[in-house]
Amino acid sequence: MEYTVEEISPVRKKVTITVDPKEVEASIMATVALYRTSVQIDGFRKGKVPPSVVEKRFQEKIYQEAQQDLVNVHINEVMQELKESPLSGIDFDGEPAIARGVQYVYSITYDVLPAVDLPPYEGLDVEQEKALVLENEISEVIDRIRRDKAELVVADGAGPAKDGQIANLDFTAYDENGEPLEGIEASGFDMALGEGQALEDFEALVKTVPCGEEREEKVSFPADFLAQDLAGRTVTMKVKVHAIKERKLPELTDDLAKSMGFESVDKMREAITESYRSSREKLNKGAAQKELLDRLLKMVDFVIPDSMMDVQVRTLLADMRTRLERQGKSLESLGKKEEELREEVRPEAEAIARAQVFLMCVAKKEGLEVSDHEVNTSLFQMCQRSGEDFKSVRDAYERSGMMFTLRDRMLADKAMDLIYAKAKVTEVEPKEKTSDEKDEKATSATA
């Protein structure tokens, strides 16, 4: 095997590999030998089928597998000799299969890390806020637990229901011709009011219906509603309220704590406090790390590989889609072309990619690595959170090239941890939160 290297840009290379016919022949024969041990052909005992018969019967598969084995071995050899690790996958260009007596020529193109003149990153000074937990924060969590465990009791009076109450109701939607709309109906549905669980117009309608009565009104769906067949439409909603309920909060007792898996109220408070403290420590550590990284990035300038930019853009668009769908909206509802959305997220993608490139350069200098075991552990933890099958997720990552992306991100995280570990961290009292930060905290706490 011989190869030549072409530098397309400071961050992209092309390697052309030429495989001698004898090596091609050896790979084919090795694959035929493997097939002989497993295939069953009528008229022959297993493992005794002549090589020529096996090759003729399974030629296409054999040649493809032999070609793939050759390519994998050569890429590993080339990368080791060049002492390089491709970023975000490899682009392959060549015939899909080899042939006997013919040399095999193909090329691989990939992105590499730019040459970065790293500034000193050891012993940097940085302040980090202490992880303090306030009593009212613990009380808020306990109040939510009591609310989740509350018993629903019938409220006094005939209503209509108001914010903080639950209306048990039937509802049906009708189109402009008075025909019921499929899938927009329910019986005996408990709807909590004032919590943003339903469309504003629909909730306003419910708040006008006394217990035992029925009423209908026009309700408009927003233009960006997730269900495209309803987006922007106005339909007639008919509502009948059967009962109005209120939450009867349980007393804060050890029995309540035990129902949540704790020995006592005190143990529950300790667990909540520790959870808050641990989460806050991670957030404060992350803020300190970001400050360190921002300072270091101001000292360097380098080219960002296109593949890393593309990965970050696609990731941000996927995150945007997920957030919109949680709100009952769709990415298409934004009324923008994909190219417009890509341009909108590009500055953020560039900032993320730039930070990752820098950290990977630090990792390379420090000789940091991410093992297969670490990658598998990360994927396994991801699957535990999502409930997905580990093997299916791993196979999907392998096929899509996301395994490279995951490994790169984990490597960057290791480099950031190293910079932080070598920094001079000074703990300081928490700063006064702005109104926006308080609102954000309140939103995340009730999510």
The predicted structure's pLDDT at residue 438: 47
- Asked if 32 contacts 62 with a C-beta cutoff of 8 angstroms, the reply is yes
The predicted structure's pLDDT at residue 445: 39
Task: Give the mean pLDDT of the chain.
Answer: 87
**Is the pLDDT assigned to residue 447 strictly greater than 70?**
no
Nearest to 19 by CA among 64, 83, 61, 75: 75
**Is the pLDDT assigned to residue 428 strictly greater than 70?**
yes
The predicted structure's pLDDT at residue 226: 65
Query: How do residues 240-294 score in pLDDT, each as one tens digit?
Result: 999 998 888 999 999 999 999 899 999 999 999 999 999 999 999 999 999 999 9
- Asked if 216 contacts 324 with a C-beta cutoff of 8 angstroms, the reply is no
The band of 436, judged by pLDDT with boundaries at 50, 70 and 90, is low
Q: What pTM does this model have?
A: 0.68
**Is the pLDDT assigned to residue 387 strictly greater than 90?**
no
The predicted structure's pLDDT at residue 324: 83
**Is the pLDDT assigned to residue 4 strictly greater than 80?**
yes
The predicted structure's pLDDT at residue 439: 47
Q: Compute the average pLDDT of residues 324-343.
A: 82
Q: Compute the average pLDDT of residues 132-141.
A: 90
- Which letter does DSSP use for residue 334 in this model? G
What secondary structure does DSSP assign to 351-390, as a single string?
A: HHHHHHHHHHHHHHHHT----HHHHHHHHHHHHHHHT--H
Helix, strand, coil content of the chain in percent (nearest 5)? 50, 20, 30
Query: How do residues 19-34 score in pLDDT, each as one tens digit?
Result: 999 999 999 999 988 8
The predicted structure's pLDDT at residue 434: 55
Domains of the chain (ranges, CATH numbers): 2-111 (3.30.70.1050), 125-132+281-445 (1.10.3120), 151-248 (3.10.50.40)
**Is the pLDDT assigned to residue 47 strictly greater than 60?**
yes
**Is the pLDDT assigned to residue 444 strictly greater than 50?**
no
CA 142 from centroid of its chain's CA atoms: 30
Cα distances from 29 to residues 33, 68, 191, in angstroms, run 6, 14, 69
Quote the percentage of the chain above a pLDDT of 70.
95
**Is the pLDDT assigned to residue 330 strictly greater than 80?**
no
Query: Which pair of structure tokens corresponds to residue 48?
Result: 């005794």
Q: Tell me which of 246 and 230 has the higher pLDDT.
A: 246
The predicted structure's pLDDT at residue 97: 81
- Asked if 218 contacts 205 with a C-beta cutoff of 8 angstroms, the reply is no
**Is the pLDDT assigned to residue 185 strictly greater than 90?**
no
- Which letter does DSSP use for residue 329 in this model? B
**Is the pLDDT assigned to residue 371 strictly greater than 80?**
yes
CA atoms of 251 and 150, how far apart (whole Å): 10
The predicted structure's pLDDT at residue 165: 87
Residue 391, judged by CB atoms within 10 A of its CB (0-12, 13-18, 19+), counts as exposed
Q: Compute the average pLDDT of residues 285-305.
A: 95
